[in-house]
């Protein structure tokens, strides 16, 4: 037996402040989120995971408002922004700390309102931390306070993976910029108060051809487009149209030409977050499957007595264990490299892609087995197993498909 933990064990353990965050989050779920969930339950608007949609296919306004209220309360309780640097008003947590926090939030919230209490794609993110001093008070500070939400608009109808081929253009007009184009598949397109738009500013300049702009949703020429209904059924994904939208120079994030790096910073952040998300949801599904195996009977005995079912449980456990552990090691390596440095460390893309692919693929198998153990009940529309199976299938595409992750891993391996 070892008296002293190995360096690796110390590196991936939760810090005291991460444990404190999680403890406060537990109280927050019980005292602030549970009453809102109970209210929503009686409102007839559906649930956070299975919201009713309005006549345009968008998330029911009551469900959206309940999520927003959770975000405002979370910000007030100091729980909303642990991932943002402390000097900007966040918690300054590293990636290992964040995986522990995210794992807890997903495991304990399941598919409930508590998921909204951490700033995900509609909240503050590592790309917007590069906002100009002039624009900080107008955009970043209200975002951190949960007063407004944002969206990240990179993808277009004709261009997903091949980011540098995008059609949205920004041209100078005096010191302002004029933006034209259409963005598609944008999460929170229907509700965002402002949008982080990536557009071409220097055609043909490769990875320096793009810039990121903060665009107000009430700006002249900015229009919300149709909902894009996906298998998630959440009424959150849609199109955005920019028709000669004027944006002041101070709304450029970082420097002109930084757009590709900033977009990758945002996308890499979502990839890293798969570690905590899949560990948390995976543990939740495993708990539910184990309970089902103990209580559901076949032939007068619990199905958990059957080796066929035991092996399904064991395989779920193995996938959750492997993905969780390897992701924590990956997050520790990212913390050492600087997870959001611009320019990114040359070893970073491979590790980020390893975290995404390991989790996307393991979690898909976990949800598949969870459905199987629940039998017909696992196929019930809107049940946690059925919904998470759909989410797991989805995860293999956004924030870069699993094929693109393989490309990045191989590039890292083959680099001279």
| Residue range at the interface with ligand FAD (CB under 6 A); choices 82-90, 207-215, 247-255, 394-402 | 394-402
| Residue range at the interface with ligand FAD (CB under 6 A); choices 49-57, 81-89, 148-156, 349-357 | 148-156
- Take residue 101 and report the two structure tokens written for it: 């926090």
**Are 147 and 72 contacting, i.e. CB atoms less than 8 angstroms apart?**
yes
**Binder of ligand FAD out of 155, 265, 327, 331 (CB under 6 A):** 155
Task: Check the CA dihedral 325-288-365-103 and report its sign.
Answer: negative
**Binder of ligand FAD out of 71, 74, 201, 237 (CB under 6 A):** 237
Closer to ligand FAD by CB, 243 or 403: give it: 403
**Are 50 and 387 contacting, i.e. CB atoms less than 8 angstroms apart?**
yes
- Take residue 260 and report the two structure tokens written for it: 């590709």
Rule CB under 6 A: say whether 160 interacts with ligand FAD: yes
Cis amide leading into 49 (omega within 30): no
CB of 394 to ligand FAD, least distance (A): 6
Token look-up 């184009």 returns 181
CB of 28 to ligand FAD, least distance (A): 26
Rule CB under 6 A: say whether 407 interacts with ligand FAD: yes
CB of 372 to ligand FAD, least distance (A): 25
| Residue range at the interface with ligand FAD (CB under 6 A); choices 56-64, 174-182, 381-389, 391-399 | 391-399
DSSP string, 278-290: HHHHHHHHHHHHH
**Are 125 and 78 contacting, i.e. CB atoms less than 8 angstroms apart?**
no
The footprint of ligand FAD on residues 85-144 (CB under 6 A) is 121
**Are 395 and 364 contacting, i.e. CB atoms less than 8 angstroms apart?**
yes
Buried b (16+ CB within 10 A) or exposed e, 392-413: bbebbbbbbbbebbeebbeebe
Closer to ligand FAD by CB, 89 or 229: give it: 229
Rule CB under 6 A: say whether 337 interacts with ligand FAD: no
Nearest to 124 by CA among 76, 83, 94: 83
Rule CB under 6 A: say whether 394 interacts with ligand FAD: yes
Task: Indicate the DSSP class of residue 339.
Answer: T
Closer to ligand FAD by CB, 185 or 260: give it: 185
Please give the C-alpha separations between residue 329 and each of 46, 97, 109, 216, 385, in angstroms, as whole numbers: 39, 12, 25, 39, 28
- Number of residues lying near ligand FAD (CB under 6 A): 22
The footprint of ligand FAD on residues 176-235 (CB under 6 A) is 185-187, 230, 232
CB of 416 to ligand FAD, least distance (A): 21
Instruction: In whole angstroms, give the CA distance from residue 27 to residue 110.
Output: 16
Rule CB under 6 A: say whether 341 interacts with ligand FAD: no
Closer to ligand FAD by CB, 123 or 160: give it: 160
First to last CA, the chain: 41
Rule CB under 6 A: say whether 390 interacts with ligand FAD: no
**Binder of ligand FAD out of 106, 139, 152, 222 (CB under 6 A):** 152
Binding site for ligand FAD (CB under 6 A): 121, 152-155, 160-161, 185-187, 230, 232, 237, 394, 397-401, 403-404, 407
């Amino acid at each position: 037996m070892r008296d002293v933990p190995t360096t690796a064990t110390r590196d991936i353990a939760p810090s005291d402040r991460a444990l404190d965050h999680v403890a406060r989050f537990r109280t927050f779920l019980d005292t602030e989120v549970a009453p809102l969930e109970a209210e929503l339950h009686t409102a007839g608007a559906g649930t956070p995971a299975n919201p009713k949609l309005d006549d345009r296919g968008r998330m029911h306004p009551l469900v959206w408002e309940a999520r927003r209220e959770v975000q405002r309360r979370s910000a007030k309780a100091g729980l909303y922004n642990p991932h943002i640097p402390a000097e900007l008003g966040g918690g300054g947590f590293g990636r290992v700390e964040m995986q522990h926090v995210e794992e807890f939030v997903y495991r304990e919230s399941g598919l409930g309102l508590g998921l909204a209490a951490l700033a995900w794609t509609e909240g503050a993110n590592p790309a917007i931390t590069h906002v100009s001093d002039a624009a900080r008070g107008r955009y970043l500070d209200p975002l951190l306070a949960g007063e407004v939400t944002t969206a990240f608009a990179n993808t277009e109808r004709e261009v997903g993976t091949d980011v540098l081929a995008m059609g949205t253009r920004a041209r100078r007009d005096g010191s302002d910029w004029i933006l034209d184009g259409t963005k598609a598949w944008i999460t929170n397109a229907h509700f965002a108060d402002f949008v982080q738009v990536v557009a071409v500013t220097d055609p043909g300049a490769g990875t320096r051809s793009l810039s990121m702009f903060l665009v107000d949703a009430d700006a002249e020429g900015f229009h919300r487009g149709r909902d894009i209904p996906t298998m998630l059924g959440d009424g959150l994904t849609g199109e955005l149209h920019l028709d000669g939208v004027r944006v002041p120079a101070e709304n450029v994030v970082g420097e002109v030409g930084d757009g590709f790096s900033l977009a990758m910073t945002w996308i890499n952040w979502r990839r890293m977050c798969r570690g905590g998300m899949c560990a948390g949801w995976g543990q939740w599904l495993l708990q539910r499957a184990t309970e089902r195996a103990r209580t559901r009977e076949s032939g007068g005995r619990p199905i958990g007595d059957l080796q066929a079912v035991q092996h399904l449980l064991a395989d779920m456990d193995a996938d959750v264990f492997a993905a969780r552990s390897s992701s924590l090691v990956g997050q520790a390596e990212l913390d050492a490299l600087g997870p959001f440095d611009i320019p990114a460390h040359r070893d970073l893309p491979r590790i980020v892609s390893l975290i995404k692919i390991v989790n996307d693929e393991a979690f898909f198998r976990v949800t598949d087995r969870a459905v199987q153990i629940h039998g017909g009940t696992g196929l019930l529309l809107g049940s946690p197993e059925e919904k998470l199976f759909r989410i797991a299938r989805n995860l293999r595409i956004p924030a870069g498909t699993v094929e693109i992750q393989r490309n990045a891993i191989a590039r890292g391996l083959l680099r001279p």
